[in-house]
Amino acid sequence: MALQLLERKQKITFSLALVATLAAGALAIGEVNPTLTFMVAAAALATLAATVGEATDQLGRRLSPTMTGVLQSAIGNLPELFVSIFALQAGLVTVVQSAIVGSILANSLLVLGLAFVMGGWRFKTLHFDQESTRIMVTLTVLAVSALIVPTLVAELHTPAGGHEEALSLMSAVILLVIFICSIIFSAQSGPEAAPPAHHLDEAGAWPLWLTLAILGAAGVAAAFVSEWFVDALSPAIAALNISEAFAGLVVVAIAGNAVENVVGIQLAMQNKGDLAVSVVLNSSLQVAIALTPILVLVSFWVSATPLTLQLPPLLVAVLVLAVLLDMLIVLDGEANWLEGTALIGLYGIIATSFWWG
């Protein structure tokens, strides 16, 4: 019954996701070449991303852009949560710190840039709601500030120096409270009413139960794939001769955010600027304001070396640059392909600077 509701393209996408997930599981359980397992797991994450993209488009017919972006980003960040937890258990704190920053950069620079390039090239200018975008950027600045302050405390040798763990715990709790407040605010937003009812009757529309079932199944599958991905991570880093910092900042961050890599760009190419920007910026925001504090709290139970918000100075500097460029581009409520190219360019420069470690 459910299969009859899917188009041929959707059936192919879901089939590829299933095959790639099963293949990654077989390679991981069979302890085959770690590098091959690493690449297949990454491919599985990408196909699962396309699956979530299809379901998110269906969900966007029923909810406001902001609420759809929040829900989709939450599901999309589940793989990264599991990747980071397993990495912390393995003592790969540098990878986790780099992955946190890399996730914010990958979404706010690379993915958003690609969305603006593809959408802007096709429609000249993408338009999106200024008010909701301003709120997301404001909360992102706050979250990034929480990542910066513990680093400044340590680097400037202030009286709070040496208490980075306590400061990180307090900052994590505050960020989670603000995150909960942001969800309540988004749910209460009056101007963004649900789309008109006729959208729900369009050809190819799924019933709500099918949309939620596919979103949930894809999120759970991505969590399992993430475990296999991180198990093969260290051997793959050694085999490919790349540094832990680059692996976390670029490889793990992009793989863990594969959902947004596909969805945000797809939505921009359909001229759905509100939803595209909401999905991408919400993903960056949730990494900074929800995923990061959760990892800080969890690390005290799963790792011998707790995760703190004290970051290497270069990671702090690139975060500031990324947030500033985002603010300059999105606060006017429109973007074009040249501005997208600028975002991608900054990401390329930052990624290159971490190639050597």
Q: Can you spell out the DSSP letters for 169-224?
A: HHHHHHHHHHHHHHHHHHHH-SSSPPPPGGGGGSTTPPPHHHHHHHHHHHHHHHHH
* Residue range 129-154: mean pLDDT, rounded: 84
47-80 residue pLDDT tens:
887 777 677 767 766 666 556 656 665 666 666 7
Q: According to the model, what pLDDT value does residue 348 have?
A: 92
Cα separation, 218 vs 206, whole angstroms:
16
Q: Is the pTM of this model over 0.75?
A: yes
User: Which of 170, 115, 103 lies closest to 140, judged by CA?
Assistant: 103
Q: Region 251-273: what's the mean pLDDT?
A: 76
- Sequence-ordered strand ranges (E) for the chain: 126-127, 334-335
> What is d(CA 290, CA 176) in angstroms, rounded to the nearest whole number?
6
pLDDT of residue 22: 92
- Residue 342's pLDDT is 94
Helix then strand then coil, % of the chain, to nearest 5? 80, 0, 20
| More confident: 68 or 145 | 145
The rounded mean pLDDT for the chain is: 79
Cα pseudo-dihedral 296, 177, 143, 246, rounded to 10: 30
DSSP assignment, residue 323?
Answer: H
Mean pLDDT, residues 149-169 = 81
**Which of 226, 214, 203 minimizes the C-alpha distance to 51?**
214
Q: Give the rounded distance of the alpha carbon of 116 from its chain centre.
A: 17
CB neighbours of residue 230 within 10 Å: 26
Instruction: Give the architecture-level CATH label for domain 3-353.
Output: Up-down Bundle (1.20)
| pLDDT exceeds cutoff 80 at 201 | no
pLDDT at site 202 = 55
Long-range contacts of 8-15 (CB under 8 A, 24+ apart): 10/54, 13/47, 13/50, 13/51, 13/54, 14/51, 14/54, 14/214
Mean pLDDT of 97-124: 87
Neighbours of 216 (CB within 10 A): 12
Nearest to 300 by CA among 137, 85, 64: 85
d(CA 50, CA 122): 21
Condensed to tens digits (0 to 9), the pLDDT of residues 316-344 reads 889 889 989 988 888 888 888 999 999 99
For 3, 174, 206, 258, 262, the CA distances from 10, given in Å and listed in that order, are 10, 41, 12, 18, 14
Per-residue DSSP letter, 126: E
pLDDT in tens, 221-237: 877 887 787 778 778 88
The predicted pLDDT at position 349 comes to 93
Q: What percent of the chain is modeled with pLDDT above 90?
A: 6
